[in-house]
Amino acid sequence: MAEHEKKNVAHHGFTHTHIEHFADGSHHVHHVHHEGPHKDVHHAVTHLDHVHDSLQDHLGMENPGEAEANAGIHGVPPEHAEPAGLPVPGGTMPPAAGGAGE
């Protein structure tokens, strides 16, 4: 890719996103990557909140302190964090919070 073309590509490498909406409230999300279809991301999501999550996960940047909070460094004691659905140090994010869970 020529140097002038690199300047027009966002930090995530995706040039555009297609979202299909279905009657049952689910959606199909297709993030199109500038390097070609082999780098595209396709997936189905069950509701609009997951569409927003997909946009943030693939296109967004972390807010200040977000990486630390996701690692469990948020100041909430583990015995209170886990029942509230917050990540704990050395653990994983609970599914309700957007992580894969244990």
pLDDT digits (tens, 9 = 90+) for 43-98: 999 999 999 999 988 888 888 888 787 788 888 888 888 888 888 887 655 554 44
Region class of 2: left (phi > 0), else alpha (psi between -120 and 50), else beta: beta
- C-alpha pair distances (Å), 63 with each of 13, 30, 34, 68, 85: 19, 24, 25, 10, 19
What confidence score (pLDDT) does residue 77 get? 87
pTM of the model: 0.59
Owner of token pair 């869970």: 101
Residue type for position 36: G
Categorise residue 67: left if φ over 0, alpha if ψ from -120 to 50, beta otherwise.
Answer: alpha
The predicted structure's pLDDT at residue 102: 36
Q: Please, which pLDDT band fits residue 99 given cuts at 50, 70 and 90?
A: very low
Distances (CA, A) of 8 to 2, 22, 84, 90: 11, 32, 41, 38
Tokens of 100: 């894969």
Quick: pLDDT tens for 1-48. 444 455 577 888 999 999 999 999 999 999 999 999 999 999 999 999
